[in-house]
Chain A
């Protein structure tokens, strides 16, 4: 295994939201970069010059601000291959054939877990087989110069998509190579992508990355950081996503991040998604202001359906196009796309590019449609606020005002919870389900302190579905909701009349 990332316990500061002091951060960086040979390639002066030399349309921080100014909804796929050549070809295809506004590099799962020796083996096996055996690009193994060549191969900004609670070396190498965005955060990814790591360690790891972005900021380079509020991607109700958006955002702002995107998985209910985007933006800005951060830009991204997909290409194509429509009407600054291959695993570059063009066409058609003023939309938006505030306020209270401390204590108490979490430190008692009208609701709040009147709304809606489909009210509703979107359309909406 690789050298552990944990610093000397004796010299490390107690957990808090406070920015990591300069000298401490210098030592942390030195130790971090020494963990794999390519770490030595990181030179902050050269990296700052590299970013300053990029045209602004290849700088994600600028592109997100500009998209917001122009009210555009950008498209961005996922994608990563196990060898440099395959991955470069993929990025070029997504840029040219997919018209992607933002080009991704998804890292492979060994890299996500800092198993760089296994990743090396995966590179060799992929080269031998002539196809990718890794599910992403091993950013750390290839190093800074190769990352830089990837950025040069495209004419869009590049973002790292890394599904990890351990971002420190991947982030250093990608940012140094000219990547201008990094998706990941301490609360969201630690609760959703790892089993054994504690919430505290995950928060500390991302405080490092946020502090690194702030270091670039101080040198005149604004980098984009982004929060994966889609969490486990399994029927996460907007309020639970937004609670983590607010808390992760406050942690990043405290380290000095100024350009911080928030992502949510689509519920696939048009009104709920539109309400979620507006509520997310408002609630994050509201809590940022309360903590004294008045200059943090927080664009919102929606993601195509994150749960199980149907095996029928036609059904999948509808979910892709509708997902673009939702994002455009919701006023999202960008949408993260999938393809018709989703049920089968990782798509070919061509299928991935098709997903992008389908989405783009839908966005074009739905441009400038908004739901503001529609009573059901306003009601839903207000409901999300009534769900988010009591939880966030309780977390802040539990931490005596400190977000990091409060978050750790709240997860221990189950006040913060994430549905279907793989992490041992998360109660994962909260259970979501889809109601009769297609909204995501909460069937069991676990120990999350949602107000009684709010839970009554959820229960009333869910009981309607239980009755209509003859499912017992309780966890069975949650399980059937996991599979719902992957069911054949003939089952979901029969063409036969009940006689």
Chain B
């Protein structure tokens, strides 16, 4: 499947208003051929899932800059599974927990929550686009294998 047929849901989770990076990311993803459903700032977890169902999205990209992402993202994968989105690709990125901590520890918290990728602060859009490319390619391969 070509990249331009993929739909991505983006937004800033919880009570967080930091919209700038998320808006630039959404603009760049659109430019590189994705259909982007951009939910903007202050988006409850449930709204991401609802939008993903309504638009049959392939991935959800969650931003959090204010430190409370750790509280807001708990149970996010479960919400997706409950809604029937068992295999949807989940990314999270930003300043994800309160304070300055070594990145591997932070990454682990979010991968354990069921996110497929976690992006540290300062991650550039090019990196995210590469990740999406790789992850969708892997999924396509797995899917073909399952069908064979």
Contact = CB atoms under 8 A, between A and B. Distances in A.
A482 B40 contact: no
Contact of B40 (A195, A308, A311): A195
Interface of B: 12, 14-17, 19-21, 23-24, 27, 40-42, 66-68, 70-71, 95, 97-101, 121-122
A341 B41 contact: no
22 contacts: A109-B16, A121-B71, A122-B68, A131-B99, A133-B68, A192-B17, A195-B40, A195-B41, A196-B42, A232-B19, A311-B122, A341-B99, A343-B121, A347-B100, A351-B100, A420-B23, A422-B17, A422-B19, A422-B41, A424-B40, A479-B24, A482-B21
Given A134-B98, A135-B68, 7 more contacts: A108-B68, A115-B15, A118-B71, A121-B71, A344-B100, A345-B98, A421-B19
Interface of A: 82, 108-110, 112-113, 115, 118, 121-122, 125, 131-135, 163, 192-196, 232, 234, 308, 311, 341, 343-348, 351, 420-422, 424, 479, 482, 486
Given A115-B15, A192-B17, A194-B42, A109 B68 contact: yes
B76 to A, nearest CB: 16
Contacts of A345: 67, 95, 97-100, 121
Contacts of A311: 121-122
Contacts of B15: 109-110, 112-113, 115, 118
Contacts of A192: 17
B71 A125 contact: yes
Chain A CB within 10 A, most for which of B12, B15, B67: B15
Contacts of B68: 108-110, 122, 133-135
Given A346-B67, A482-B24, A195 B99 contact: no
A405 to B, nearest CB: 26
Nearest to B95: A345
A232 B20 contact: yes
Could you tell me the dominant secondary structure of chain A's interface residues?
loop
A132 B121 contact: no
A132 to B, nearest CB: 5
A192 B42 CA distance: 12
Contact of A344 (B23, B71, B95): B95
Contact of B42 (A232, A308, A422): A422
Contacts of B66: 109, 135
Contacts of B67: 135, 345-346
A110 B6 CA distance: 34
A79 to B, nearest CB: 12
Could you tell me the dominant secondary structure of chain B's interface residues?
loop
Contacts of A343: 121-122
Contacts of A341: 99-100
B99 A346 contact: yes
Q: Which 6 A-B pairs have the closest CB atoms?
A: A422-B41, A344-B100, A345-B95, A109-B15, A135-B67, A422-B19
A15 to B, nearest CB: 24
A479 B98 CA distance: 27
A137 B69 CA distance: 16
A195 B17 contact: yes
A482 B20 CA distance: 8
A132 B98 contact: yes
A424 B38 CA distance: 13
A118 to B, nearest CB: 8
A154 to B, nearest CB: 22
A193 B98 contact: no
A25 B17 CA distance: 30
A301 B101 CA distance: 31
A194 B12 CA distance: 12
A245 to B, nearest CB: 20
Nearest to B94: A345
Nearest to B71: A133
Contacts of A422: 12, 17, 19, 40-42
A348 B17 contact: no
Contacts of A194: 17, 42
A319 B71 CA distance: 31
A163 B18 CA distance: 12
B20 A420 contact: yes
A193 B17 contact: yes
Contacts of A110: 15, 68
A194 B42 CA distance: 7
B124 to A, nearest CB: 8
A121 to B, nearest CB: 8
